[in-house]
Amino acid sequence: MSNVTQMKCACVDCLCVVNISVAVEKDQSYYCSEECANGHLSDVACCGHTGCNCHSK
């Protein structure tokens, strides 16, 4: 048996893979950033990681 250590960010539009030991956990899901975890409510369009344009305006 192996343990999962990385998974895709739970944000549907996000392309990031996150290490679950440093991920933002919310509602039993793992996110790459607070922005993704909070549903992109602020003026920040995306998670801010290079190469990912989730929720770009």
| CATH assignment of the domain containing 35 | 2.30.170.10
Residue 56's pLDDT is 66
Residues 6+ apart with CB under 8 A from 40: 11, 46, 54, 55
Give the rounded percent of residues in the chain with a pLDDT score beyond 70. Answer: 91
Q: Please, are residues 36 and 14 in contact by the beta-carbon 8 Å criterion?
A: yes
Residues 6+ apart with CB under 8 A from 28: none
Tens of pLDDT, residues 8-54: 999 999 999 999 999 999 999 999 999 999 998 876 668 888 888 88
Query: Taking every pair of C-alpha atoms in the chain, what is the biggest distance, in angstroms?
Result: 43
Which residues span the domain enclosing 23?
A: 1-57
Q: Please, are residues 54 and 33 in contact by the beta-carbon 8 Å criterion?
A: no
In the chain, the number of structural domains is 1
Cα(25)–Cα(31) distance, integer angstroms: 6
Supply the pTM of this predicted model: 0.85
